[in-house]
Amino acid sequence: MGWKLLRSMLLTLSVTGILIAQTSSGPPKGTLILTGGEFGNGVIERFVTLAGGPDANFVYIPTASSGIKLDSGFVYVPPDTDTPAANTHEFELELCKMFGVKRITVLHTRNRSTANSEAFVEPLRKANGVWLSPGNAGRLASAYLDTLTYREIEALLNRGGVTGGNSAGAIIQGSYIVRGRPDKPLLMAKGHERGFGFLKSVAINPHLTEAKRDAELVNVIDTYPQLLGIGIDEKAAILVQGDRFEVIGSGRVAIYDNKKHGGSWYYWLSPGDKFDLRSRTAQQSSKATIQK
The CATH number given to whatever domain includes residue 23 is 3.40.50.880
For residue 70, what are the CA distances in angstroms to 42, 83, 108?
A: 17, 22, 17
The bridge status of strand 75-76 relative to strand 267-269 is unpaired
Q: Which residues lie below 8 Å from residue 175, measured CB to CB, with a gap of 6+?
A: 18, 21, 194, 195, 196, 197, 199, 200, 201, 202, 203, 227
pLDDT tens-digit map of 222-277: 999 999 999 999 999 999 999 999 999 999 999 999 999 999 999 999 999 999 99
Distance separating alpha carbons of residues 252 and 270, to the nearest angstrom = 5
What mean pLDDT value characterizes the chain? 92
pLDDT tens-digit map of 22-49: 689 999 999 999 999 988 779 999 999 9
Q: Which domain holds residue 124?
A: 3-283
Query: What pLDDT, on a 0 to 100 scale, did the predictor assign at position 286?
Result: 56
Q: Which residues lie below 8 Å from residue 264, measured CB to CB, with a gap of 6+?
A: 292
Residue 203, domain member (yes or no): yes
Residue 12, domain member (yes or no): yes
pTM given for the model: 0.90
Residue 255, domain member (yes or no): yes
Residue 141, domain member (yes or no): yes
pLDDT tens-digit map of 120-144: 999 999 999 999 999 999 999 999 9
Nearest 5°: phi and psi at 156?
-60, -45
Residue 139, domain member (yes or no): yes
At residue 18 the predicted structure's pLDDT band, cuts being 50, 70 and 90, is very low
Query: What pLDDT, on a 0 to 100 scale, did the predictor assign at position 39?
Result: 85
CA torsion 192→193→198→204, rounded to 10°? 120
Closest CA to 209 of 230, 177, 187, 231: 231
Nearest 5°: phi and psi at 71?
-60, -25
Section 148-164 average pLDDT: 98
Section 111-128 average pLDDT: 98
Domains identified in the chain, total number: 1
Q: What is the DSSP letter of 266?
A: -
Residue 288, domain member (yes or no): no
For residue 160, what are the CA distances in angstroms to 20, 125, 157?
A: 29, 12, 5
- Whether the per-residue pLDDT at 9 is higher than 60: the answer is no
